[in-house]
C-alpha cells in the first residue's frame, strides 16, 4: 500500500506557530519510524489532543475591536483550518482504500479556490506518514 502524495509544490506556510510545526514534524517522524499502524493511529489521536489544547491556549485579541487583517486573527484562523483538516483523518484501520478516500476528502474540503491550501497540505503530510 503505497500512497504518493505530491506535496512539494506548495511553498506557503500554513501557519507560523513554531510549537505546532515542531509537534507536527515530530509526529510525522515518529509515524514514519513506527511499523505498527495501530500505534500510528494512537500517535495521531495524541497529536489531535495536543492540537486541540494548543488552539485553546492561544491568546486571541478582542474580536470586536480587532480588524480582520490582524496577523493574530489570521494565525488563529489558519490553525483552526489546519485542525479541521486533521480532524478529517479518522479511521479504525489503515488501508489503501481508507487512506485514499481520506486524501480525496481533505482535497475536496479545501475552502479556497486554486488548489490545495497550505493547511490541507500539512494535514496530507500527516496522512501520508500514517498510511505509508
Residue-by-residue pLDDT tens, the chain, 132 positions: 333 333 333 335 667 888 999 999 999 999 999 999 999 999 999 999 999 999 998 887 787 888 888 888 888 888 999 999 999 999 989 999 999 999 999 998 885 666 788 899 999 999 999 999
Question: Domain map of the chain by residue range?
Answer: 18-58+68-131
Say how many CA atoms lie within 13 Å of 88 toward its Cβ: 25
Backbone angles phi, psi at 9, to 5 degrees: -75, -10
Around Cβ 2, how many Cβ atoms within 10 Å? 6
- Global pTM reads 0.83
Residue 10 confidence (pLDDT): 38
Closest Cα partner for 70 from 81, 59, 79, 61? Answer: 61
The Cα–Cα gap between 46 and 26 comes to: 12
The Cα–Cα gap between 22 and 118 comes to: 16
Residue 13 confidence (pLDDT): 60
Amino acid at each position: 500500500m503505497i500512497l504518493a502524495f505530491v506535496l512539494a509544490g506548495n511553498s506557503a506556510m500554513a501557519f507560523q506557530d513554531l510549537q505546532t510545526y515542531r509537534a507536527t514534524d515530530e509526529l510525522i517522524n515518529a509515524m514514519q519510524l513506527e511499523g505498527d499502524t495501530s500505534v500510528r493511529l494512537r500517535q495521531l489521536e495524541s497529536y489531535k489532543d495536543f492540537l486541540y489544547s494548543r488552539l485553546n491556549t492561544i491568546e486571541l485579541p478582542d474580536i470586536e475591536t480587532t480588524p480582520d487583517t490582524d496577523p493574530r486573527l489570521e494565525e488563529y484562523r489558519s490553525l483552526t483550518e489546519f485542525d479541521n483538516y486533521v480532524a478529517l483523518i479518522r479511521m479504525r484501520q489503515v488501508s489503501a482504500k481508507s487512506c485514499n478516500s481520506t486524501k480525496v476528502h481533505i482535497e475536496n474540503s479545501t475552502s479556497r479556490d486554486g488548489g490545495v491550501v497550505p493547511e490541507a497540505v500539512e494535514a496530507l503530510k500527516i496522512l501520508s506518514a500514517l498510511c505509508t
